[in-house]
């Protein structure tokens, strides 16, 4: 049985067809054409599929698309300010070398965004705790943590002005 699921994706209302047993991840990628959200483990262990749903980070592989009816979804594609204007977090990941193969990066960036939305000046321990559900096999996390800290610092300086 297929249903039309209406949700706001990256600021645009979308109606996406979905079998009732299909995940939000699969619908975003296949029907939505948003392939920045990655399918890693498909069981909620790696964090590659992290999106922000109604202001909270979720593993899109663990959410049925029908559960997202009426939800506000932000994916990595919706994070940047335009085609040539990446979000500050994306810039800091590039600047600090926080991405190597890049497979895990969208999920980590989305989790970091959710963290900074809730905790504008996180400690290193808070960043590590927030990103604990995101697995990266390439970087060793040091550059990722530095990128998030630098982004937080710059965002806080901008707020203070």
Residue linked to tokens 């297929």: 2
d(CA 125, CA 111): 15
CATH fold for domain 2-79:
Ubiquitin-like (UB roll) (3.10.20)
Per-residue pLDDT of the chain (161 residues; tens, 9 = 90+): 999 999 999 999 999 999 999 999 999 999 999 999 999 999 999 999 999 999 999 999 999 999 999 999 999 999 998 888 999 999 999 999 998 888 999 999 999 999 999 999 999 999 999 999 999 988 889 999 999 999 999 999 998 88
pTM for the full model? 0.95
- If 0-12 CB within 10 Å is exposed, 13-18 middle and 19+ buried, where does residue 144 land? buried
CATH superfamily of 88-160: [2Fe-2S]-binding domain (1.10.150.120)
Domain boundaries, the chain: 2-79, 88-160
């Amino acid at each position: 049985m297929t249903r039309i699921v209406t949700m706001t994706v990256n600021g645009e209302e979308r109606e996406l067809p979905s079998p009732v047993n299909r995940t939000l991840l699969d619908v975003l990628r296949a029907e939505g054409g948003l392939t920045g959200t990655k399918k890693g483990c498909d069981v909620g262990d790696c964090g590659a599929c992290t999106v922000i749903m109604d202001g909270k980070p979720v593993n899109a592989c663990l959410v049925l698309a029908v559960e997202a009816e009426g939800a506000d979804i932000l994916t990595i594609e919706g994070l940047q300010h335009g085609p040539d204007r990446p979000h500050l977090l994306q810039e800091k990941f590039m600047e600090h070398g926080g991405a190597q193969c890049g497979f895990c990066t969208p999920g980590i960036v989305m989790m970091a965004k959710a963290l900074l939305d809730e905790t504008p000046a996180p400690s290193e321990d808070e960043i590590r705790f927030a990103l604990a559900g995101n697995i990266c096999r390439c970087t060793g996390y040091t550059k990722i943590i530095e990128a998030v800290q630098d982004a937080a610092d710059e965002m806080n300086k901008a707020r203070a002005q």
